[in-house]
Amino acid sequence: MKRKLYLLCILSLLCLMAIPASASQKNLSVKNLQKQQILPSKKQKKPEQKTLKTTGKKKVAIDAGHQTRANNGLEPIGPGSKTRKLKVTGGCTGVATGVPEYKFNLRVAKKLKKELISRGYEVYMIRTKNNVNISNKERAEKANKSGSDICIRIHADSNDNRNIKGASGLYPSLQNPFAIRQLSNSCLKLTNKILTAYCKETGIRNRGCVKRDDLTGTNWSKIPVALIECGFMSNPSEDRKLQKKSFQTKMAKGIADGIDAYFEN
Ligand SMILES: [Zn+2]
């Protein structure tokens, strides 16, 4: 009996000693230290992923029109359409400089990307080189999937009459047979803001915004889209102007000013 009592006493003593030990262990556990901000938690160790929601950044998709080789395959001009058009046409060529439109479009697109990034935008480039094979429908789908807020399509114009000069913007009308008509007003606003700012910065004549419902790359879009015809490569003096690097920097600045204006109000 005495021996049992003795053992019980020892056991009780051991228990009493163990309680504060385990309690202090608990307090000093990694989890608690993390809670008290003494140690960085696992979540804090990882740099916060920069997304549109956390940064509030706007994302712009840029489509430099055309590519080295045209693709004469056919594709529907809009979702569910029986009307088909060439996947990618060849584009025009500068009458004075001989520069093909696809090269010009990509040069301007790259300048625009740089300008937009310096202003805090995120940019998605639909193409970054000339030797690609991406149809106009695929370009719109790429922009749709990219999570971009808007899409800017860069092109240059051409006409048999070499005297014609100026820039214009093409947008889908309220009568457009595809879903993009629901964004017609936003498209017009975007196109108009860009064209106005572009012409102000470059001094190129503003030929206005034109409704176009036959553009595959626009009709497949699910985000506000503007196609900018930067000027006429069929006009010798405008062509020479458009190909100057310093002028292309101005063009990019003008387009970016228009994008700023679109998001400002
Ligand atoms: Zn073009």
CA 194 to ligand 1 centroid distance, Å: 17
Distance from residue 27's CA to the centre of ligand 1 (Å): 69
Number of domains forming the structure of the chain: 1
Which one-letter DSSP state was computed for residue 47?
A: P
Residue at 156 is within a domain: yes
Q: What is the pLDDT of residues 59-97, one digit of tens each?
A: 999 999 999 999 999 999 999 999 999 999 999 999 999
Contact 238, 165 (CB under 8 A): yes
Domain with residue 152: its CATH number is 3.40.630.40
Q: Quote the ligand 1 centre to 153 CA distance (angstroms).
A: 9
| In a domain? residue 152 | yes
pLDDT in tens, 193-211: 999 999 999 999 999 999 9
- Is pTM beyond 0.75 here? yes
Confirm whether 97 is domain-assigned. Answer: yes
| Host domain of residue 229 | 57-264
Contact 114, 251 (CB under 8 A): no
- Beta carbons of 113 and 105 less than 8 angstroms apart: no
Domain membership flag for residue 28? no
Q: Report yes or no on 10 lying in a domain.
A: no
CA of 174 to the centre of ligand 1 (A): 23
Distance 66 CA to ligand 1 centre (A): 6
